[in-house]
Protein backbone atom coordinates (compact mmCIF):
# COMPACT_ATOMS: atom_id res chain seq x y z
CA UNK A 1 0.00 0.00 0.00
CA UNK A 2 2.85 2.43 0.78
CA UNK A 3 4.34 1.68 -2.64
CA UNK A 4 0.95 2.35 -4.25
CA UNK A 5 0.63 5.65 -2.39
CA UNK A 6 4.14 6.74 -3.34
CA UNK A 7 3.51 5.75 -6.96
CA UNK A 8 0.24 7.67 -7.10
CA UNK A 9 1.93 10.71 -5.55
CA UNK A 10 4.73 10.59 -8.16
CA UNK A 11 2.15 10.23 -10.92
CA UNK A 12 0.15 13.26 -9.75
CA UNK A 13 3.31 15.37 -9.36
CA UNK A 14 4.30 14.67 -12.98
CA UNK A 15 7.00 12.04 -12.76
CA UNK A 16 5.53 8.99 -14.54
CA UNK A 17 8.85 7.10 -14.71
CA UNK A 18 9.24 7.16 -10.91
CA UNK A 19 5.53 6.39 -10.49
CA UNK A 20 5.83 3.26 -12.64
CA UNK A 21 8.62 1.92 -10.42
CA UNK A 22 6.47 2.14 -7.26
CA UNK A 23 3.23 1.07 -8.93
CA UNK A 24 4.82 -2.02 -10.44
CA UNK A 25 6.09 -3.03 -6.97
CA UNK A 26 2.58 -2.56 -5.55
CA UNK A 27 1.04 -4.42 -8.50
CA UNK A 28 3.31 -7.41 -7.91
CA UNK A 29 2.08 -7.64 -4.34
CA UNK A 30 -1.55 -6.56 -4.54
CA UNK A 31 -2.46 -7.06 -8.20
CA UNK A 32 -5.14 -4.78 -9.65
CA UNK A 33 -6.91 -4.26 -6.35
CA UNK A 34 -7.71 -0.73 -5.26
CA UNK A 35 -7.12 0.85 -8.65
CA UNK A 36 -3.48 -0.14 -8.82
CA UNK A 37 -3.88 -1.50 -12.34
CA UNK A 38 -5.57 1.68 -13.61
CA UNK A 39 -2.91 3.85 -12.03
CA UNK A 40 -0.15 1.74 -13.55
CA UNK A 41 -1.75 1.92 -16.99
CA UNK A 42 -2.07 5.70 -16.71
CA UNK A 43 1.55 6.02 -15.55
CA UNK A 44 2.76 3.96 -18.49
CA UNK A 45 0.68 6.09 -20.88
CA UNK A 46 2.07 9.29 -19.39
CA UNK A 47 5.59 7.92 -19.59
CA UNK A 48 5.08 7.10 -23.26
CA UNK A 49 3.70 10.58 -23.92
CA UNK A 50 6.67 12.12 -22.10
CA UNK A 51 9.24 10.00 -23.91
CA UNK A 52 7.75 10.64 -27.35
CA UNK A 53 7.33 14.35 -26.63
CA UNK A 54 10.95 14.67 -25.56
CA UNK A 55 12.14 12.73 -28.65
CA UNK A 56 10.13 15.00 -30.95
CA UNK A 57 11.55 18.11 -29.29
CA UNK A 58 15.11 16.77 -29.54
CA UNK A 59 14.55 16.08 -33.25
CA UNK A 60 13.09 19.52 -33.96
CA UNK A 61 15.94 21.29 -32.20
CA UNK A 62 18.37 19.80 -34.69
CA UNK A 63 16.11 19.99 -37.72
CA UNK A 64 14.84 23.61 -37.40
CA UNK A 65 16.78 26.25 -39.34
CA UNK A 66 14.87 29.26 -38.05
CA UNK A 67 14.16 30.38 -34.53
CA UNK A 68 13.44 27.77 -31.84
CA UNK A 69 10.79 29.73 -29.97
CA UNK A 70 7.98 27.31 -30.89
CA UNK A 71 10.13 24.31 -29.94
CA UNK A 72 11.03 25.99 -26.64
CA UNK A 73 7.35 26.70 -25.99
CA UNK A 74 6.54 23.03 -26.56
CA UNK A 75 9.37 22.01 -24.20
CA UNK A 76 8.06 24.41 -21.58
CA UNK A 77 4.55 23.03 -21.90
CA UNK A 78 5.89 19.48 -21.55
CA UNK A 79 7.92 20.52 -18.49
CA UNK A 80 4.80 22.03 -16.92
CA UNK A 81 2.83 18.88 -17.72
CA UNK A 82 5.51 16.71 -16.16
CA UNK A 83 6.95 19.13 -13.65
CA UNK A 84 8.58 16.52 -11.40
CA UNK A 85 10.44 14.79 -14.24
CA UNK A 86 14.10 15.68 -14.08
CA UNK A 87 14.83 14.56 -17.68
CA UNK A 88 12.24 16.92 -19.11
CA UNK A 89 13.48 19.78 -16.92
CA UNK A 90 17.02 19.21 -18.17
CA UNK A 91 15.67 19.11 -21.72
CA UNK A 92 13.87 22.41 -21.17
CA UNK A 93 17.09 24.05 -19.99
CA UNK A 94 18.96 22.80 -23.08
CA UNK A 95 16.22 23.90 -25.48
CA UNK A 96 15.89 27.33 -23.89
CA UNK A 97 19.66 27.82 -24.10
CA UNK A 98 19.67 26.77 -27.74
CA UNK A 99 16.69 29.00 -28.49
CA UNK A 100 18.45 31.98 -26.91
CA UNK A 101 21.62 31.27 -28.87
CA UNK A 102 19.65 30.84 -32.08
CA UNK A 103 17.71 34.06 -31.41
CA UNK A 104 20.95 35.98 -31.04
CA UNK A 105 22.41 34.48 -34.21
CA UNK A 106 19.24 35.19 -36.18
CA UNK A 107 19.14 38.75 -34.87
CA UNK A 108 22.62 39.38 -36.24
CA UNK A 109 21.71 37.62 -39.51
CA UNK A 110 18.56 39.70 -40.00
CA UNK A 111 20.33 42.98 -39.27
CA UNK A 112 23.20 42.09 -41.60
CA UNK A 113 20.72 41.09 -44.31
CA UNK A 114 19.10 44.53 -44.11
CA UNK A 115 22.55 46.13 -44.33
CA UNK A 116 23.35 44.05 -47.42
CA UNK A 117 20.04 45.16 -48.91
CA UNK A 118 21.06 48.74 -48.04
CA UNK A 119 17.99 49.24 -45.87
CA UNK A 120 20.05 50.99 -43.25
CA UNK A 121 17.26 52.74 -41.37
CA UNK A 122 15.37 49.47 -40.93
CA UNK A 123 18.56 47.74 -39.81
CA UNK A 124 19.19 50.37 -37.11
CA UNK A 125 15.58 50.14 -35.87
CA UNK A 126 15.66 46.33 -35.81
CA UNK A 127 18.93 46.26 -33.87
CA UNK A 128 17.42 48.64 -31.31
CA UNK A 129 14.35 46.41 -30.99
CA UNK A 130 16.54 43.38 -30.39
CA UNK A 131 18.46 45.22 -27.68
CA UNK A 132 15.17 46.06 -25.96
CA UNK A 133 14.39 42.35 -26.00
CA UNK A 134 17.66 41.70 -24.20
CA UNK A 135 19.65 40.51 -27.21
CA UNK A 136 22.94 42.38 -27.09
CA UNK A 137 26.01 40.70 -28.54
CA UNK A 138 29.25 42.09 -30.00
CA UNK A 139 28.21 40.81 -33.43
CA UNK A 140 24.86 42.59 -33.23
CA UNK A 141 26.55 45.79 -32.02
CA UNK A 142 28.98 45.64 -34.96
CA UNK A 143 26.17 45.15 -37.46
CA UNK A 144 24.22 48.01 -35.88
CA UNK A 145 27.27 50.32 -36.08
CA UNK A 146 27.73 49.48 -39.76
CA UNK A 147 24.08 50.30 -40.42
CA UNK A 148 24.27 53.55 -38.43
CA UNK A 149 27.41 54.70 -40.25
CA UNK A 150 25.85 53.90 -43.62
CA UNK A 151 22.66 55.73 -42.64
CA UNK A 152 24.75 58.76 -41.64
CA UNK A 153 26.56 58.69 -44.99
CA UNK A 154 23.25 58.55 -46.84
CA UNK A 155 21.92 61.37 -44.66
CA UNK A 156 24.95 63.49 -45.55
CA UNK A 157 24.37 62.74 -49.23
CA UNK A 158 20.73 63.82 -48.93
CA UNK A 159 21.88 67.06 -47.33
CA UNK A 160 24.37 67.55 -50.14
CA UNK A 161 21.59 66.91 -52.66
CA UNK A 162 19.30 69.40 -50.95
CA UNK A 163 21.97 72.11 -50.95
CA UNK A 164 22.90 71.48 -54.60
CA UNK A 165 19.24 71.73 -55.63
CA UNK A 166 18.77 74.97 -53.73
CA UNK A 167 21.87 76.46 -55.37
CA UNK A 168 20.95 75.14 -58.83
CA UNK A 169 24.15 73.11 -59.28
CA UNK A 170 22.69 70.51 -61.65
CA UNK A 171 25.85 68.43 -62.11
CA UNK A 172 26.26 68.19 -58.32
CA UNK A 173 22.59 67.21 -58.00
CA UNK A 174 23.14 64.44 -60.53
CA UNK A 175 26.29 63.19 -58.79
CA UNK A 176 24.66 63.21 -55.34
CA UNK A 177 21.67 61.25 -56.66
CA UNK A 178 23.95 58.65 -58.21
CA UNK A 179 25.84 58.21 -54.93
CA UNK A 180 22.60 57.90 -52.98
CA UNK A 181 21.26 55.28 -55.39
CA UNK A 182 24.52 53.37 -55.12
CA UNK A 183 23.90 53.10 -51.38
CA UNK A 184 20.09 52.97 -51.55
CA UNK A 185 18.92 51.60 -54.94
CA UNK A 186 15.25 51.92 -53.92
CA UNK A 187 15.40 55.61 -52.93
CA UNK A 188 12.48 56.95 -54.98
CA UNK A 189 13.23 60.63 -54.34
CA UNK A 190 16.82 60.27 -55.56
CA UNK A 191 15.72 58.20 -58.57
CA UNK A 192 13.02 60.71 -59.54
CA UNK A 193 15.36 63.67 -59.06
CA UNK A 194 18.08 61.96 -61.09
CA UNK A 195 15.67 61.32 -63.96
CA UNK A 196 14.57 64.98 -63.96
CA UNK A 197 18.05 66.48 -63.72
CA UNK A 198 19.50 64.19 -66.40
CA UNK A 199 16.68 65.19 -68.75
CA UNK A 200 17.39 68.86 -68.02
CA UNK A 201 21.13 68.39 -68.60
CA UNK A 202 20.42 66.65 -71.92
CA UNK A 203 18.22 69.56 -73.00
CA UNK A 204 20.91 72.03 -71.96
CA UNK A 205 23.59 70.11 -73.87
CA UNK A 206 21.41 69.92 -76.99
CA UNK A 207 20.64 73.64 -76.96
CA UNK A 208 24.26 74.50 -76.24
CA UNK A 209 25.41 72.41 -79.22
CA UNK A 210 22.86 74.11 -81.47
CA UNK A 211 23.90 77.51 -80.14
CA UNK A 212 27.59 76.89 -80.79
CA UNK A 213 26.80 75.63 -84.29
CA UNK A 214 24.77 78.79 -84.96
CA UNK A 215 27.56 80.96 -83.64
CA UNK A 216 30.13 79.26 -85.88
CA UNK A 217 27.83 80.05 -88.82
CA UNK A 218 27.78 83.67 -87.72
CA UNK A 219 24.10 83.48 -86.70
CA UNK A 220 24.75 85.24 -83.42
CA UNK A 221 21.09 86.13 -82.89
CA UNK A 222 20.09 82.45 -83.07
CA UNK A 223 22.96 81.47 -80.78
CA UNK A 224 21.85 84.15 -78.33
CA UNK A 225 18.25 82.91 -78.41
CA UNK A 226 19.35 79.33 -77.68
CA UNK A 227 21.70 80.35 -74.86
CA UNK A 228 18.89 82.36 -73.30
CA UNK A 229 16.82 79.15 -73.31
CA UNK A 230 19.74 77.38 -71.63
CA UNK A 231 19.80 80.14 -69.01
CA UNK A 232 16.08 79.59 -68.34
CA UNK A 233 16.80 75.90 -67.73
CA UNK A 234 19.87 76.68 -65.60
CA UNK A 235 19.37 80.20 -64.23
CA UNK A 236 22.17 79.94 -61.64
CA UNK A 237 24.89 79.14 -64.18
CA UNK A 238 27.40 81.98 -64.13
CA UNK A 239 29.13 80.61 -67.22
CA UNK A 240 25.95 80.63 -69.31
CA UNK A 241 25.15 84.12 -68.08
CA UNK A 242 28.58 85.28 -69.20
CA UNK A 243 28.10 83.68 -72.63
CA UNK A 244 24.73 85.44 -73.05
CA UNK A 245 26.30 88.76 -72.09
CA UNK A 246 29.18 88.24 -74.52
CA UNK A 247 26.86 87.25 -77.37
CA UNK A 248 24.73 90.34 -76.82
CA UNK A 249 27.85 92.37 -77.60
CA UNK A 250 28.96 90.07 -80.44
CA UNK A 251 25.72 90.57 -82.38
CA UNK A 252 26.44 94.27 -82.93
CA UNK A 253 30.18 93.63 -83.44
CA UNK A 254 29.48 91.16 -86.26
CA UNK A 255 27.08 93.56 -87.96
CA UNK A 256 29.75 96.29 -87.81
CA UNK A 257 32.42 93.95 -89.23
CA UNK A 258 30.16 92.86 -92.11
CA UNK A 259 29.28 96.48 -92.87
CA UNK A 260 32.95 97.47 -92.74
CA UNK A 261 33.87 94.66 -95.14
CA UNK A 262 31.09 95.62 -97.57
CA UNK A 263 32.07 99.29 -97.38
CA UNK A 264 35.72 98.41 -97.98
CA UNK A 265 34.81 96.31 -101.02
CA UNK A 266 32.54 99.02 -102.36
CA UNK A 267 35.20 101.65 -101.77
CA UNK A 268 37.95 99.55 -103.27
CA UNK A 269 39.91 99.21 -100.03
CA UNK A 270 41.09 95.70 -100.79
CA UNK A 271 43.37 95.32 -97.77
CA UNK A 272 40.69 96.47 -95.33
CA UNK A 273 38.12 94.18 -96.99
CA UNK A 274 40.38 91.16 -96.61
CA UNK A 275 41.21 92.08 -93.01
CA UNK A 276 37.53 92.37 -92.05
CA UNK A 277 36.62 89.12 -93.81
CA UNK A 278 39.49 87.29 -92.10
CA UNK A 279 38.46 88.60 -88.70
CA UNK A 280 34.93 87.35 -89.32
CA UNK A 281 36.16 83.88 -90.33
CA UNK A 282 38.53 83.66 -87.38
CA UNK A 283 35.59 84.26 -85.06
CA UNK A 284 32.89 82.44 -87.06
CA UNK A 285 34.58 79.64 -89.07
CA UNK A 286 31.36 78.48 -90.78
CA UNK A 287 30.01 81.96 -91.58
CA UNK A 288 28.90 81.88 -95.23
CA UNK A 289 28.68 85.67 -95.39
CA UNK A 290 32.26 85.96 -94.20
CA UNK A 291 33.39 83.38 -96.77
CA UNK A 292 31.64 85.28 -99.56
CA UNK A 293 33.15 88.55 -98.42
CA UNK A 294 36.60 86.98 -98.24
CA UNK A 295 36.13 85.50 -101.72
CA UNK A 296 35.14 88.89 -103.10
CA UNK A 297 38.04 90.62 -101.37
CA UNK A 298 40.46 87.93 -102.52
CA UNK A 299 39.17 88.14 -106.10
CA UNK A 300 39.49 91.89 -106.08
CA UNK A 301 42.99 91.64 -104.66
CA UNK A 302 44.03 89.15 -107.34
CA UNK A 303 42.57 91.33 -110.10
CA UNK A 304 44.20 94.44 -108.64
CA UNK A 305 47.59 92.76 -108.28
CA UNK A 306 47.36 91.39 -111.81
CA UNK A 307 46.52 94.82 -113.23
CA UNK A 308 49.40 96.43 -111.34
CA UNK A 309 51.85 93.74 -112.47
CA UNK A 310 50.67 94.17 -116.07
CA UNK A 311 51.12 97.92 -115.85
CA UNK A 312 54.58 97.59 -114.31
CA UNK A 313 55.76 95.24 -117.06
CA UNK A 314 54.84 97.70 -119.79
CA UNK A 315 55.48 101.06 -118.19
CA UNK A 316 59.16 101.19 -118.99
CA UNK A 317 58.78 100.24 -122.65
CA UNK A 318 58.63 102.52 -125.66
CA UNK A 319 55.73 102.39 -128.00
CA UNK A 320 52.14 103.42 -128.13
CA UNK A 321 50.91 99.87 -127.55
CA UNK A 322 52.79 99.64 -124.28
CA UNK A 323 51.40 102.95 -123.07
CA UNK A 324 47.89 101.80 -123.95
CA UNK A 325 48.46 98.56 -122.03
CA UNK A 326 49.63 100.49 -118.97
CA UNK A 327 46.71 102.91 -119.16
CA UNK A 328 44.19 100.08 -119.53
CA UNK A 329 45.67 98.13 -116.63
CA UNK A 330 45.66 101.21 -114.43
CA UNK A 331 42.04 101.90 -115.34
CA UNK A 332 41.17 98.36 -114.13
CA UNK A 333 43.20 98.84 -110.94
CA UNK A 334 41.59 102.24 -110.35
CA UNK A 335 38.10 100.83 -110.73
CA UNK A 336 38.97 98.24 -108.05
CA UNK A 337 40.91 100.54 -105.72
CA UNK A 338 40.84 104.11 -106.94
CA UNK A 339 42.64 105.55 -103.93
CA UNK A 340 45.41 102.98 -103.80
CA UNK A 341 48.85 104.66 -103.73
CA UNK A 342 50.31 102.20 -106.25
CA UNK A 343 47.76 103.36 -108.83
CA UNK A 344 48.71 107.00 -108.29
CA UNK A 345 52.42 106.20 -108.43
CA UNK A 346 52.14 104.30 -111.69
CA UNK A 347 50.02 107.02 -113.27
CA UNK A 348 52.66 109.53 -112.33
CA UNK A 349 55.32 107.37 -113.95
CA UNK A 350 53.10 106.89 -116.99
CA UNK A 351 52.72 110.66 -117.32
CA UNK A 352 56.47 111.12 -117.10
CA UNK A 353 57.09 108.44 -119.72
CA UNK A 354 54.59 110.08 -122.09
CA UNK A 355 56.38 113.43 -121.72
CA UNK A 356 59.74 111.92 -122.53
CA UNK A 357 58.33 110.20 -125.62
CA UNK A 358 56.91 113.46 -126.97
Which tens digit of pLDDT belongs to each residue from 205-252?
A: 999 999 999 998 888 899 999 999 999 998 888 888 999 998 988 888
Q: Which parts of the chain register pLDDT below 50?
A: 354-358
* C-alpha 168 chain-centroid distance: 17
- Share in percent of the chain as helix, strand, coil (round to 5): 85, 0, 15
Q: What is the Cα–Cα distance from 6 to 23, expressed in whole angstroms?
A: 8
* Dihedral class, residue 15 (left if φ above 0, else alpha if ψ from -120 to 50, else beta): beta
Q: What is the pLDDT at residue 355?
A: 43
pTM of the model: 0.53
**Residue 32 DSSP symbol:** T
Q: How many CB atoms lie under 10 A from the CB of residue 21?
A: 15
* Of the candidates 112, 110, 118, 120, the residue with the CA atom closest to the CA atom of residue 185: 118
pLDDT at 320: 67
What integer pLDDT is reported at residue 316 of this predicted model?
A: 67
**Residue 133 confidence (pLDDT):** 84
pLDDT in tens, 138-182: 888 888 888 888 888 888 998 999 999 888 889 999 999 999 888
Amino acid sequence: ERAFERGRTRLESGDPAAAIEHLEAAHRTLGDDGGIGDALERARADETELREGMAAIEHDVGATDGDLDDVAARAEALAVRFSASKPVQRLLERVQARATERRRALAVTRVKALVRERRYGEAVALAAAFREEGIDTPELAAAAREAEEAAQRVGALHERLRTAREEGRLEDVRDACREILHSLPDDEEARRTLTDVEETLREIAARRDLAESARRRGDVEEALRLYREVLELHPTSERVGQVVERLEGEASERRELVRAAVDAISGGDVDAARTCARRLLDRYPDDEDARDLEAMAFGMARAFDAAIRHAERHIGREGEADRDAVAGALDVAARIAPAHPRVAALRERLGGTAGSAS
